[in-house]
Structure 1
Amino acid sequence: MTHPLAADSAPGLSWRGLETRVGLDALPAFHRAFLRWRGVEGTESMPLRRVQQRVEAELNRMVQAGLAVREGDDWHLTPGALEGFEDAAPYLPGEPDSLPM
């Protein structure tokens, strides 16, 4: 079995690796912050399952926009893809190309 952070060695920042660093307790708030950053309204009143579905939909939109690549059940974000998403900053690896710009 591959360690969940091992995906960070793949090209781009692993979304699943990022979620692992966020941790289970903080993940719902992180997902809601991601959706707000992407312009989705009403995230605070959404059930958790709906939040997860919307996160995946937004990640797929990022793929269409060339900001991410889907690989199995993961998305690898291009450098700068999280530009302006300040809530992600504490969880990003220390590599300069993965930081929001």
Structure 2
Amino acid sequence: MSHKNRDASKAWTPDDEDSFSEARDILLALASIYTHLANIEVADSEDLRSERLGVIRELKALHVNDHHDISRIRKDYPARITELRWRAGFEQSPDQLAP
């Protein structure tokens, strides 16, 4: 594609790409922990699989220019991952962590 025909609104910076990559990694980690929990928590497995499906849909729809969604994912989801990792027994409860 020639540079003359490229839509400038679709261009992104290396920082945009790094933020996008971080958001994708966060979504993949979240999907992974939902999968793990669904396999060990039979009673809640349907709800957990549904949550995982929502995360996968969000991952598939995410684009490097979705600055608002990328920012929201990077801000909000790490705490959810920590909470779920604690639930799965991978980490101490956030309440038990030293200040």
Q: Do the two structures share a fold, i.e. TM-score over 0.5?
A: no
TM-score of the aligned structures, taking structure 1 as reference length:
0.32
Per residue, is there more strand in 1 or in 2?
1
The structure with the largest alpha-carbon Rg is 2
Per residue, is there more helix in 1 or in 2?
2
TM-score of the aligned structures, taking structure 2 as reference length:
0.33
